[in-house]
Structure 1
């Protein structure tokens, strides 16, 4: 944290002074960005491509807890979760707008730390910041990010276009972000009971990063392009694997067979789930915030993708009448149900 002598109250700069301070070093990277920050609106020229737009809102106390979320990580994550939505359409993100609502407890130095993470994510993924807004907030920190991406019309992939017989695929591994969250919540409670006890996170770096510093899978979009595989349907895993599969099946009017033994779970995720007396499969199915890509492909494309270690084939699409089923490791058939994130749960 900062010493009081090093703190700069935001009212010393004012809204426009703050914006100027935070955006003075922005360098545009995309030819499609004709005008970014500095005028009444950004000007973009996507050169004949289709434009994809998505927005996410992150609220302090609802979507993040600053007791264990460093501001730099929060800024990074705020960008990544938005980029993931564009990747989930088989497109490449290019620009973002970032808007903040801040209570009086936040100083310039705190907002600079948040923006360090924002700029780090944008630099890594070659994203232009082209606008946004700042305002005061009585409810802590509010972050709103809007992302724009581009794709040729024939490359865009939707949720509602899965076909019977398609293979169900997912990138990376699942459940890590949820188990990382359980670990952070446990250490927070221990700290509140005894502030002298230091957090015990040794050896858990991977699942902590899965929660605090997720990565949008833009590399999978490029991989599929390189392999000449166009998914038949696609979505990102933000609310849990089960929820996302059911979205694809409902919107495509199809069923599915999902095999428990095929769901990719990292050993650290598995071990940590067991430490908390949680079922690792349930963590993968319902945990959320993994930001991996779930997609379906035609069976004819199987040979193109079968050797990629970062993509798992976990089931297949069926006719709607067959229902959405989870086949357990013991061969039992269970109805697939979603128990993931509910944005309006009290």
Structure 2
């Protein structure tokens, strides 16, 4: 297929704010009975009846959280939804609704915003989410996206960060470190392109880790899977800022320590081979990378038999008394104090 070098570009100013909202939301469908009123009024109306509502918001800023030099705008829309749904699933809840607010500069034509919403709509359809409102405004530079996710859960099912106890097992879903490593590959290829725009990157050997960065999937399956296994975690958090940061969050809020075993951290073979190529330590990538959107949780030791053979889960450590501190047990059986080296956007801005 020959790429159209002069695609149609429609000025958003031709539509105006309300025309833009109508245009972007005309195909939005409602699927939850809890949605009494969605888009089209001053506020959405939801009815969760006897369940508790769970709400989370994330803001994505161009140049801080994403780079449109290599982030396809449709993928960006999809990822913006995933980032928020992950927080709801980390509460052991079911995500049901989102609102989306965007600020865009005049360098974005209507077609670009339409692509963004195609990604948002795809995420909603795949994860059975109702888009029920939001806001649009102008930006003096770049793009900002704010998504708020709503979910529901029975009060007895909700899991917080502060329930871990000494002796609990530390468990993680999936594998860790791929998203950040995918970002390093994309940044490298961007620099190559800036030097030689005719150079076409061959990224096939990095397909998994690049997808982990550009099109992550939230772990919608985990709350239902845990329920089917008759397991209620004692604490839970999503892995968005790096494994070390998330472990320290649980430890701080639960007032416990932790021993994390380096040899147990689940790494995809593509992560290991790419770390060797980049001459970086794979454990460092897992501890400090972030954006994996896996779930990290603790369970009672009595639940070990229910989880030990399940391929979705890896037991990577155990919780200790708070006085023992938080440590990484290396492959050489050395005990190293763990510090948070996860990604910090505020610190990045200050530097």
Q: 1:327 aligns with which of 314, 326, 329?
A: 329
- Please name the residue that 2:285 is paired with: 283
Deviation at 1:164, TM superposition (A): 0.8
Deviation at 1:202, TM superposition (A): 1.9
- Relative to structure 1, the CA distance from residue 296 to residue 136 in structure 2 (aligned partners, 3 Å threshold; closer, same or farther) is same
SS for the counterpart of 1:58 is: strand
Number of corresponding residues: 346
1:72-83 counterparts in 2 under 5 A? 72-83=74-85
Deviation at 1:4, TM superposition (A): 4.9
- Relative to structure 1, the CA distance from residue 197 to residue 4 in structure 2 (aligned partners, 3 Å threshold; closer, same or farther) is closer
- Please name the residue that 1:306 is paired with: 308
- Please name the residue that 2:295 is paired with: 293
> Does residue 7 of the first structure (1) align with residue 13 of the second (2)?
no
> Does residue 210 of the first structure (1) align with residue 212 of the second (2)?
yes
> Does residue 84 of the first structure (1) align with residue 89 of the second (2)?
no
Normalising by the residue count of structure 2, what TM-score does the alignment of the two structures yield?
A: 0.97
User: d(CA) in 2 for partners of 1:202 and 1:127?
Assistant: 32
Runs of 4+ with deviation above 3 angstroms: 1-5
- Please name the residue that 1:148 is paired with: 150
User: d(CA) in 1 for partners of 2:301 and 2:307?
Assistant: 10
Deviation at 1:291, TM superposition (A): 0.4
User: d(CA) in 1 for partners of 2:308 and 2:141?
Assistant: 48
- Please name the residue that 2:165 is paired with: 163
SS for the counterpart of 1:160 is: coil
User: d(CA) in 2 for partners of 1:234 and 1:85?
Assistant: 10
Cα deviations across residues 32-78 of structure 1 (Å, max 9, x unaligned)? 00100011110000011000101000000000000000001000000
- Name structure 2 gaps, 5 residues minimum: none
Normalising by the residue count of structure 1, what TM-score does the alignment of the two structures yield?
A: 0.99
User: d(CA) in 1 for partners of 2:4 and 2:202?
Assistant: 24
1:38-117 counterparts in 2 under 5 A? 38-117=40-119
Q: CA RMSD in A?
A: 0.9
SS for the counterpart of 1:189 is: helix
User: d(CA) in 2 for partners of 1:326 and 1:152?
Assistant: 35
SS for the counterpart of 1:204 is: helix
Cα deviations across residues 14-37 of structure 1 (Å, max 9, x unaligned)? 000000000011110101001000
SS for the counterpart of 2:258 is: strand
User: d(CA) in 1 for partners of 2:56 and 2:141?
Assistant: 24
User: d(CA) in 1 for partners of 2:56 and 2:5?
Assistant: 38
Q: Contact 1:187/1:200 (CA < 8 Å) preserved in 2? A: no
User: d(CA) in 2 for partners of 1:217 and 1:5?
Assistant: 36
> Does residue 176 of the first structure (1) align with residue 178 of the second (2)?
yes
Q: Contact 1:58/1:64 (CA < 8 Å) preserved in 2? A: yes
